[in-house]
Amino acid sequence: MASQIQERLTTDQDLLLMQEGTMLRKVRTKTWKKPRYFRLQNDGMTVWHARQADGIAKPTFSISDVETIRKGHDSELLRYLMEEFPLEQGFTIVFHGRRPNLDLVANSVEEAQMWMRGLQLLVDLVASMNSQEQLEQWVRDWFNQGDRNQDGRMNFQETQRLLLLMNVEMDEDYAYSLFQEADVSQSDTLEGEEFVQFYKALTKRTEVEELFTNFSSDGQKLTLLEFVDFLREEQKEKDHAADLALEFIDRYEPSENGRLLHVLSKDGFLSYLCSKDGSIFNQDYLPIYQDMTQPLNHYYINSSHNTYLLRNQLCGQSSVEGYIRALRRGCRCVEVDVWDGPDGEPIVYHGHTLTSRILFKDVVATLAQYAFQLSDYPLILSLENHCTWDQQRTLAKHLTEILGEQLLSTTLEELVVDKLPSPEQLRGKILVKGKKLSIIEDTEVEEEEEEGLEKDQDSDMDSDTFSVLNVQPERESQELPLGIKDKKKVVTCPMTFLNICGHVLVRQASSIFESVLLSNQFYLNSRTILCPDLSALVVYMRTVPFFSFTHSKENYHIYDVSSFSETKAKHLIREAGNEFVQHNARQLCRVYPSALRTDSSNFKPQEFWNAGCQMVAMNMQTAGCAMDICDGFFRQNGGSGYVLKPEFLQDIQSSFNPQRPISLFKAKILLVQCPGCR
C-alpha cells in the first residue's frame, strides 16, 4: 500500500501540486479567518501548515485521521460567510471521532477542487489498508509529529517524549535496549521505519506470543493443522475450521512462500487476530439479521440527548454538526430544544444557558440531508417545544416544507390500531415526537369536529411539575372500544391570554377547569398553548406525563411516550422493576441523563436496557466507557439503530424483574481482562 501511495505522489497531478503547497484561508469562527500555507508532505500521509510559504511549519493532520471531505455548501460555518467567500472555493475536512472540522477556503474554485480530489484519493487509499498497515501508518504519523525539525530522525530522548504522548509506559533501560536493537544504522537515532520496528518491539503482546507458542510445534510458524486446531479450540469455529484456515492463511500471511506452504508466521497470526475475521464480534450479526416487522416498542432505539451540542450543556457550542455526527454513528432518535428566535425564526439551544444558538430550519435541513445515509429505518425527532404560537407555526412550516415526503404526517392506512407500526413499515420516514392536541382516532369512525386538549408535557417533565403548578392530575377516561369516540371538551383561552396561558389539559365535558386555567398561579408557570399546525405532525409519538404505572396502563395508549430522568428510572427499577418491564412492553419510553450532568457525562445504558427501556438517550459528544458500550451494542443488526429486545421484554405479562432475575433468566458474570490494565 505504501508503494501505491508513493507511485501516486509522482504521477497524480493533484498530489504533485499539493506537495508544492498553496495558501489557503483557515476559518475557525465567523471572525477568525487567517491565511495559512498548507502543504502535503513527501510521505503522502501528513499535511503541515505555516504562516507563510517559507515559514516554520508544523503538523496539521494525518490522512489516516480524515473521515471525509465536504464541499463548502455543506459547511455550517462557511454558509454563514457566503457573502465574504464563495462557497465553491470552500471545503471542509471532517475527522474521525470528536476532533473539530477544519474549514478552508481556496483562492479559486480550481484550487479547492484540486485539494478535495487529492485528499479524497489519499483517504480512499488509507481505507483500503489492512489492519497491520493501518497500525504501522499510525505509528509513522506519530513519528512525523515528534520529528519537529523534519530531519527524519529521532534520538532516544525525543523518542521518550513521544512515547509519553502516545501513552506508552516503559522501563527506561528496557526501552533503551530495544532502541539500540532497532537502530540498524547505528547512528544513535531512529529513522521512520526503524521507529516502527522499535514501537512494535516495545509493545509486543506477551499473551499473543504465548498463545502462538501453545499451538506451534517449533515456535516459529503454525502449520495448517495447527492453525485448524487453534480455530477450533480458541475461536470456536468448529465444522468450518479447515476451510477457514486455508482462507485466512491466504489472506493474512505476508510471505508468498508461507502462503504456498500453507503456514502462518507470527506476523500473519497477529494480522489475523487484528482483523475483522479474528474479532470477538460475530460477523454474522453485522448485516440486518433481526425481524424488523415488530412494533416499534419491541426494539431498543439508538438515541441521543441534546444532540445539537458539541461540548457541555452549560456553555458548549450548538451546531448542526452534532446531528451529522450522531446520525453517522447510527442514531435514530435525535433531540431538538427549540425556542423563540429573532426575526420570527425559531432557534435551537439548551435553554437558559450560555450555549450558542443555531436556526431550527438549518437543523431540519441537516436531518433531511443526512437522516438516511447510514440507516434507512425511521428517525425520531424528539421535539422539546418552548415556542410561542406564531413560531410554532413556523416550526410546522419548516418541518413540512423541508422534509417533504420524508415526514410522516398521517397514520399508515394498513396499520392495525392496537399496535405501533414497525421499523420496516416506517422506512425512510421521520417521526415527530412531541405534544399533541388530540388522540389518534380510528380511521373508520365517524368524523367529529371536537378536539381534546391534552396535558402539556415536555419530555423531561414528570408529575412533580404539576405539583409545582398546584394542579392535581385527574384520571382520564378508560380507552374506549373501537368505533366509539370519547367526547372531551376543549378548554379555550381568550385571545388576550394566548401568550401567557400554560398547560393544555384534557378534561371531561363536565370539567370546570376554566377557572383554574385563568388563575394567577397558572400564569406564573406559563407556557404557550399548542398550535394545531404543529400538533398535527405528531402521529405515533405523543409525549405524556408519568404518574404511576397503574395510571399509564389505565389511561394511556400505545402511541403515548413518557420520559424519565435517569434518577427517576433507577428508582422505578429498584422499587417496581417488573411493572417497568411490562410498561415498556406496552409502550415506548425515553430515559435521559440527569440535569446535574452539566459536563454532559453519561450513565451506563445497560441498566435501563435491562428494564426494556427503548430510547436510552446518550450525550454522544462525550467519549468514554458508556458511549463505547452504546456504540458496541448498536453495531449489530446492520448499524440500523434498531435492536430487537428479547422476547421476555416484549411480553406485557412478563414476570421478569431486572433487580431480581429468577427462573430462566439467571444473571451471568462475564470477566473481560484488558492486557493494558494489568
- The residue among 445, 443, 381, 437 whose CA lies nearest residue 415 is 443
Burial of 676 (0-12, 13-18, 19+ CB in 10 A): exposed
Please identify which of the residues 350, 398, 503, 583 carries the catalytic annotation.
350
Q: How far is CA 241 from CA 222, 244, 245, 283, in A?
A: 14, 5, 6, 15
> How many Å separate Cα 306 from the centre of its chain?
12
Please state, in angstroms and rounded to a whole number, the distance separating the CA atoms of residues 668 and 563: 30
The dihedral sign for the CA sequence 99, 105, 109, 110:
negative
444 DSSP assignment: T
Is 305 noted as a catalytic residue in this protein? yes
Helix (H, G, I), strand (E, B) or coil at 617: strand
Please identify which of the residues 305, 398, 503, 583 carries the catalytic annotation.
305
Enumerate residues 6+ apart whose C-beta is below 8 A from 175: 159, 160, 163, 202
Encoded amino acid at 606, one letter: Q
- The residue among 141, 121, 143, 138 whose CA lies nearest residue 4 is 121
Q: Which helix (H) or strand (E) holds 394?
A: helix 389-403
Is 557 noted as a catalytic residue in this protein? no
Please state, in angstroms and rounded to a whole number, the distance separating the CA atoms of residues 44 and 189: 23
CB half-sphere exposure, 556, CA atoms < 13 A = 26
The answer to whether 570 and 592 are in contact (CB under 8 A) is: no
Q: What are the phi and psi torsion angles at 20 (to 5°)?
A: -70, -35
Q: Which alpha helices (H) appear in 203-312, and where do they start and end? A: 206-215, 224-233, 241-252, 256-261, 266-273
> How many Å separate Cα 380 from the centre of its chain?
14
Q: Which three cell numbers stand for residue 577?
A: 422493576
> How many Å separate Cα 125 from the centre of its chain?
25
Please state, in angstroms and rounded to a whole number, the distance separating the CA atoms of residues 627 and 601: 10
What residues act catalytically? 305, 350
